[in-house]
Amino acid sequence: MVTEPARLVVTLQTATHKFHRDLPPSRVWAYDGSLPGPTIDVSRGVAVEVLWENHLSGPLPVIVTAAPEYAVEGVPVQCVPGRSGGQHDAAAAALSGFSVVHLHGAMTLADSDGWAENLTAPGQPTLDTYPNDQRAAMLWYHDHVMGVTRFSVYAGLAGLWIVRDERERELGLPWEPPYELPLLLTDRNFDTNEGGSLTGDLLHKTDPEVMECFGPFTTVNGTVWPYVEVEPTMYRFRVLNGSNARTYRLVLTRDGEPDHGRITQIGTEGGLLLAPVSIPAQGLVLASAERADLLVDFSDLAPGTELTLWNTATAPFDGTFVGPSIAGGANLDGLLPYPEVLKIRVTEGRRSRGRVPRVLATDFRRTGRDELASVVIRAIALVEQEAKDEGAPPLLTMRELAADPAAGEPSITLVEPHGDGEERVTHWRTVATRFEDTTTFFPTLHRSEIWRLINLTEDTHPIHVHLDAFQVLDRRGATVEIADGGITATGTSATVRIGHDLDDGIPHGLDDNERGLKDTVRVNPKEVVDIVVRFQVFCGRYMYHCHILEHEDHDMMRPFVVMPAELTPFMDMHMGGGHMAHMKHEA
Ligand SMILES: [Cu+2]
C-alpha cells in the first residue's frame, strides 16, 4: 500500500495473457503487461504521481467485426465465438496504440483527468497527479481515447485503484487479501480457426444495426469462469462491472437456490453507504462501471460446500425486474449463452463469524428535494437517432436542454406532478447534441445542482459523471411520446409525463444500495432520474457520458466546465448557452 507521496511508473504494453487454462494465449494491451493492470492501493490524502509510459504497439490486439447475420442456425450471432462471416474492420486493425488514461471516480485536477482527446502516441509518456484526497472507495483506471475507448478497454487497458481511510479501519472491515477480494467482471468473445477451435484472439463482434458488443464469455479478473476458495469466515468482495456494454444481475446460489442472506452491501462507487443493506430482491444489478462493496459471510458452511455466482441479466439490458429463481439458465435470445460468473468453494480454515457494523459512513447525509428548492436544474435527454444509411447503427446522443417557456417546435414538454394533484408543465429546447457542440453546462464550484436525465430510448444507459460523486435523488417512471420525425440531428420533439404508474415491469424507484454516493447511475427506459451533483474542489473542463463504451464512442458524451462563483460575472460571453441551459426550481 502506498502511504507516502510517491511517483509510480506504469507501462502500457503489448503482452500476452491466458484467459483460460484451455485457451491459447491472447495478445492484449495491458498496464504493466498484466490483465487487469496492477492494483494501486493508497491511503487517503497521499498524493500519487503516475508516469504512464506508453509502449503499446499495433496492430490493435482485437479483431473487430460487424457480423452480417443476426443468427447462426438459430443462435444469435453474438452468442457464437468466431467472426461468423463478419468482415475484419481494417480501420480498427490499423490502430497503433494512441492512449489516454482516466482514473474513474477520482477527484483530480482537470489536466490529470484523461480528457479523451489529449492522447499520447506510443513512445510519449504522461505524468498525472492523483491527490487521493477523497472517501475510501474502489476506483478504476482505464483507457478513454476519443472514439475508440471500446476497443482499447476491450484489449485489456483497465486496472483497479483502491483508496483507504481511517473510517474503514475503525469499522474493522477486511482490507487485505485473501479476505478482501476485488472482482473485476468483463465479457469477452474470441475468434475461432477454420476447424472451429478458439484461437484466443480477442474478438469485438457486433450485429448489424446493433452497436454494442456482448461477449458470450464472462471473465473475472481476467479469467474465464474461475473459482475461488474461501475459508468459513467473512469476506469482502469488491465488485466492478468493467464490461463494455453488458449489465450483470448477480445471483448467488447454493444447492440451486438463491442464497442472498449471507451478503450485505456496505458500499458503492463513492465509498461506504450510511448503513448496510441487503442486495435487491432480484439480485445485484451492476451496469458498466458500477461497483458494489459486499460483505459475504461463509462462517456457517461446511468445507466442501460450493456456491455459484450467476448472471441473470439479458442483453441489451432494459431494467425489467426478473426474480432470482431463474439463476443458472442460459438465454440465447437475451445474448446470455453462459450465465456462470464465478464458483466459490469453502475450504478448511479459520472459522469465525463476521460482524457487520450497523453504522457505516458518518461523513455525509442524504439531501432531500425540499432542500433543493432553489437550485439550478439542468436537463439531459438520452436520445437514439436513426442512422441516415440503412443498415448502419443508430446514433445515440446526450442532448442538453434549455428551459424556454416560449419554445416552439421542436421541444420537449415535461409534465410533472407539483403539489396536490397539480401539474407543472415546462418546455425545453435542445441546445447541444454532439460532443463537439458548444459547452452549455457551467456548474458553479461548491454549489449543488440537479441534473435531470430523461431516457427517451428503449435501453438502460449507465450515466457517469467525472470528478465528484453524486447522490441519486430519485428515479421516476414517465410516459414518453415522441412525435413522428421528432428526432432530428439538432432538435428533439417529445412529451414526457413524469410520475405515472407505468406497469411496464421496470421497478422505477431507487434501490437501497443506490442511496449512497455514486459516480454512475442507471437510467432505464421511460424513466427520469434526478441526481444531485456538487463539485467541491476542482475547477475546469471535464466530461460526463454513458458508460456503455460503444455508446460513449458513438457520441453519448458531453463536456462540462466547473467554475468558481467569483468568475461568473466575467464569463457571460462564454456562458451565453450556459445561462439558457438551466432553470431555477420555483419554490
Ligand atoms: Cu448508453
Each residue of 185-224: pLDDT tens digit?
999 999 999 999 999 999 999 987 778 999 999 999 999 9
Q: How many angstroms is it from 586 CA to the middle of ligand 1?
A: 31
pLDDT at 580 > cutoff 50:
no
Q: How many angstroms is it from 222 CA to the middle of ligand 1?
A: 24
What pLDDT sits at residue 575? 57
pLDDT at 11 > cutoff 80:
yes
Q: How many angstroms is it from 460 CA to the middle of ligand 1?
A: 7
Give the pLDDT band (50/70/90) at residue 577: very low
Q: How many angstroms is it from 398 CA to the middle of ligand 1?
A: 9
Q: How many angstroms is it from 24 CA to the middle of ligand 1?
A: 33
What pLDDT sits at residue 393? 78
What pLDDT sits at residue 582? 52
Q: How many angstroms is it from 462 CA to the middle of ligand 1?
A: 6
| Amino acid, single-letter form, for residue 320 | T
Q: How many angstroms is it from 393 CA to the middle of ligand 1?
A: 13
Q: How many angstroms is it from 227 CA to the middle of ligand 1?
A: 31
Q: How many angstroms is it from 14 CA to the middle of ligand 1?
A: 29
Q: How many angstroms is it from 40 CA to the middle of ligand 1?
A: 29
What pLDDT sits at residue 389? 78
Q: How many angstroms is it from 551 CA to the middle of ligand 1?
A: 5
Least confident of 317-321, 447-451, 583-587: 583-587
Give the number of C-alpha atoms closer than 13 A to the C-alpha of residue 444, restricted to the C-beta side: 15
Q: How many angstroms is it from 97 CA to the middle of ligand 1?
A: 25
Q: How many angstroms is it from 172 CA to the middle of ligand 1?
A: 38
| Mean pLDDT to the nearest integer, 24-49 | 98
Q: How many angstroms is it from 140 CA to the middle of ligand 1?
A: 19
Query: Beta strand 376-385 with 449-455: parallel, antiparallel or unpaired?
Result: parallel
Q: How many angstroms is it from 562 CA to the middle of ligand 1?
A: 24
pLDDT in tens, 445-454: 999 999 999 9
Q: How many angstroms is it from 390 CA to the middle of ligand 1?
A: 21
Percent of the chain with pLDDT over 90: 86
Q: Which three cell numbers stand for residue 538?
A: 476542482
Q: Which three cell numbers stand for residue 160?
A: 483497479
pLDDT in tens, 323-361: 999 999 999 999 999 999 999 999 999 899 888 999 999
DSSP per-residue letters across 16-41: EE-SSTTSPPEEEEEETT-SSEEEEE
Burial class, 87, CB count within 10 angstroms (exposed 0-12 / middle 13-18 / buried 19+) = exposed
DSSP per-residue letters across 184-209: EEEEEEEEE-TTS-EEEEEEEEE-TT
Q: Which three cell numbers stand for residue 545?
A: 457520458
Q: Which three cell numbers stand for residue 399?
A: 442532448
Give Cα 502 distance to the centre of its chain: 26
What pLDDT sits at residue 500? 72
Give the pLDDT band (50/70/90) at residue 574: low
Determine if the peptide bond prior to 36 is cis (ω within 30°): yes
pLDDT in tens, 377-434: 999 999 999 887 777 778 899 999 999 988 888 999 999 998 788 999 999 999 999 9
Q: How many angstroms is it from 241 CA to the middle of ligand 1?
A: 15
3-state class (DSSP) for residue 487: strand
- Beta strands per DSSP E along 519-568: 520-523, 527-533, 540-546, 557-562
What pLDDT sits at residue 586? 42
Q: Which three cell numbers stand for residue 178?
A: 485473501
pLDDT in tens, 71-84: 888 899 999 999 98
Least confident of 34-48, 221-235, 396-410, 446-460: 396-410
- First-to-last alpha carbon distance for the chain, in angstroms, is 49
pLDDT at 585 > cutoff 60:
no
Q: How many angstroms is it from 511 CA to the middle of ligand 1?
A: 20
Cβ atoms of 54 and 30 closer than 8 Å: no
Q: How many angstroms is it from 288 CA to the middle of ligand 1?
A: 10
What pLDDT sits at residue 224? 97
| Mean pLDDT to the nearest integer, 90-104 | 97
Q: How many angstroms is it from 177 CA to the middle of ligand 1?
A: 34
Q: How many angstroms is it from 345 CA to the middle of ligand 1?
A: 36
Q: Which three cell numbers stand for residue 393?
A: 447503427
Determine if the peptide bond prior to 178 is cis (ω within 30°): yes
Q: How many angstroms is it from 286 CA to the middle of ligand 1?
A: 14
| Mean pLDDT to the nearest integer, 18-36 | 98
Q: How many angstroms is it from 558 CA to the middle of ligand 1?
A: 13
Q: How many angstroms is it from 86 CA to the middle of ligand 1?
A: 24
pTM (global) more than 0.75: yes
Give the pLDDT band (50/70/90) at residue 587: very low
CA angle 2, 154, 27 (to 5 degrees): 90
Q: How many angstroms is it from 359 CA to the middle of ligand 1?
A: 35
Percent of the chain with pLDDT over 70: 97
The whole-chain average pLDDT of the chain stands at 94
pLDDT at 168 > cutoff 90:
yes
Q: How many angstroms is it from 556 CA to the middle of ligand 1?
A: 7
Residues 6+ apart with CB under 8 A from 73: none
Give the number of C-alpha atoms closer than 13 A to the C-alpha of residue 398, restricted to the C-beta side: 33
Q: How many angstroms is it from 523 CA to the middle of ligand 1?
A: 9
Q: How many angstroms is it from 278 CA to the middle of ligand 1?
A: 27
Q: How many angstroms is it from 142 CA to the middle of ligand 1?
A: 18
Residues 6+ apart with CB under 8 A from 1: 41, 42, 43, 164
Least confident of 13-17, 49-53, 86-90, 317-321: 86-90
| Amino acid, single-letter form, for residue 152 | S
Element of type H or E holding 15: strand 6-17
pLDDT at 225 > cutoff 50:
yes
CA nearest neighbour of 460 among 546, 523, 378, 554 = 523
What pLDDT sits at residue 572? 67
Q: Which three cell numbers stand for residue 358?
A: 450497523
Q: How many angstroms is it from 552 CA to the middle of ligand 1?
A: 7
CA angle 4, 269, 223 (to 5 degrees): 85
Q: How many angstroms is it from 560 CA to the middle of ligand 1?
A: 18
Q: How many angstroms is it from 477 CA to the middle of ligand 1?
A: 18
Q: How many angstroms is it from 399 CA to the middle of ligand 1?
A: 12
Q: How many angstroms is it from 555 CA to the middle of ligand 1?
A: 9
What pLDDT sits at residue 114? 97
Q: How many angstroms is it from 184 CA to the middle of ligand 1?
A: 20
C-alpha dist (Å) from residue 105 to 382, 407, 476: 22, 37, 25
Q: How many angstroms is it from 146 CA to the middle of ligand 1?
A: 16
Q: How many angstroms is it from 412 CA to the middle of ligand 1?
A: 20
pLDDT in tens, 115-158: 999 999 999 999 999 999 999 999 999 999 999 999 999 999 99
Q: How many angstroms is it from 188 CA to the middle of ligand 1?
A: 19
